[in-house]
Amino acid sequence: MSTKLQKIIRYYEAERGLLTAQLAECIAEDDYGTARRLSKGVTLVNQRLQTLLNLHDGRHDENERVIRLLQMLEESMGSQTSIGSQKFYAEQILAVQKQLVEFERPPVKPSASPKATALNDALRRLLDKQIESFTFVFNQAERFNIVVNRVRRTVMITLPEVKRHAENYLLTKKQIRNIKSLGFRLYDNGDKFILFLPYTTILDASSVQHVLLRIAFEIFYFKEFTGQSRIKYWEI
């Protein structure tokens, strides 16, 4: 884990501990209004931590699931009275413990040589005018995507079909608010989010990348789109 990522994770873990302690105090004092606000803060911090921990180890979610399963099996075994039932749970616990041992092994690290990501490549091609646009696909089956068009010295970042995605619960009210906070505005009777940004330099490309990554990693949980996300474009 990089030092920077470690520091960020420690910061959020400390923040979670502080918020959780304050939440317990508010509940003890029957201050439920403040408790609700603190609870939302804890939820947000947990979401950020989940993303950060998965960036460190893509197996984090699965590891947490296995730990919860092990705890459930151990609790269930303790309530069994028959030898047959105890043997069954003991075998299940042993199998789950073997899974945990596998998770404790460090993940295979990718090659140390830097490689351009698909997003970096698409942004570079857009800057060099090799392509006029590209589509950042989140969920192809639901046609849930963002389109990035270059128009002269500007890029137009568009998230279409907002109403349909909201009806299908792909976009929540909170996510819509968060998208607006990035500078997006609604057009076409509230059915299309659009953000205009300058696009003439590498720094401009970095700004566009920052917006797209915030959408993918902060507003949404990137693992929801595992195996579905892709970038599409056609060269001029």
Amino acid at 162: V
The pLDDT tens digits of the residues spanning 140-177 come to 888 899 999 998 899 999 999 999 999 988 888 989 99
Query: For residue 101, what pLDDT band results from cuts at 50, 70 and 90?
Result: low
Tokens of 210: 């920052």
In whole angstroms, what is the distance from residue 203 CA to residue 66 CA?
A: 43
Strands 154-160 and 185-187: unpaired
Residue 86 or 209, more confident: 209
Full set of structural domains in the chain with CATH: 3-104 (no CATH), 118-235 (3.30.1460)
Q: What is the DSSP letter of 74?
A: H
Label residue 146 exposed, middle or buried (CB < 10 Å: 0-12, 13-18, 19+).
Answer: buried
Amino acid at 130: Q
**Percent helix, strand, coil in the chain (nearest 5)?**
60, 15, 25
For residue 227, the model assigns a pLDDT of: 72
Give residue-wise pLDDT tens across range 33-88. Answer: 888 888 878 777 777 777 776 666 666 666 666 667 767 777 777 777 777 777 77
Question: What's the pTM value of the predicted model, to 2 decimals?
Answer: 0.56
- In terms of DSSP bridges, do strands 230-235 and 154-160 run parallel, antiparallel, or are they unpaired? unpaired
Residue holding tokens 């317990």? 24
Report residue 131 as tokens. Answer: 């392509």
